[in-house]
Structure 1
């Protein structure tokens, strides 16, 4: 699962998030990749969301990226879409999350 998440994280920032391309990069057909994910109780959509959330959390812990950059790096075309998704995942905005994590 780790290799899959790494491939998805890389694809997010490159804008090439098609399942078939991810599967091919991992050496699987799209159907085989889908089957493997299913065996682990996971769908491609769920794995992508989990990867985006994990990546966003990690990037927000650092101050070197702006929220707009983090939105782009996690595969969102708009910062507002990233903010809505992050709030859905974590129950708080990315700015509040970052502020809470960076306090001493």
Structure 2
């Protein structure tokens, strides 16, 4: 995240070049941006998006993902631990979300979905999906097709 850090003294100075009309116009926009920033995305959600984009390349390595994010692997693991999750948990969540989305929103073959979610074989995908959802990919797709 980018930002500018200003001391309290600097913020208290009067702005001799300020324009009250522009200020009134921009204040609601600033308030909206600050509200959005306050609802900041958690680290594991940022990591989830990054991992999701790499699944078709196979299971991503934690060290590679950390390096892409500009941090060491240990730092990444510590930040995840602070949020009560692990890299493996984020990885599994990314796989499950992508698999469920592809099953519901596409007519991809199960073997294709297995590949897109980083599994080397359809049978491995099917076993993992049954563990996640307590039903087969076919049953999940059929149940959501009726909804």
- Whether the TM-score (by the shorter chain) exceeds 0.5 is yes
Worse-matched range after superposition: 10-19 or 34-43: 10-19
Residue in 1 aligned with 2:6? none
Mapped to 2, the partners of 1:11 and 1:72 lie a distance apart of 11
The aligned counterpart of 1:57 is 100
Are 1:86 and 2:129 an aligned pair? Answer: yes
Structure 1 residue runs of 4 or more that deviate by more than 4 Å after TM superposition: none
- Please identify the structure whose Cα radius of gyration is greater: 2
Which segments of 5 or more consecutive residues in structure 1 lack a partner in the other structure?
A: none
Higher relative contact order (CA 8 A, sep 6+): 1
**What is the rounded CA distance, in whole Å, between the counterparts of 2:138 and 2:65 in structure 1?**
31
Q: Is 1:27 matched up with 2:27?
A: no
Match of residue 79, structure 2, among 36, 50, 61: 36
For residues 78-101 of structure 1, give each alpha carbon's deviation from its aligned partner in whole angstroms, at most 9, with x where no partner exists: 000000000001000001100110
Gaps of 5+ in 2: 1-43
TM-score by length of 2: 0.67
- Per the normalisation by structure 1, the TM-score is 0.93
Cα separation, partners in 2 of 1:16 and 1:57, compared to 1, 3 Å: closer
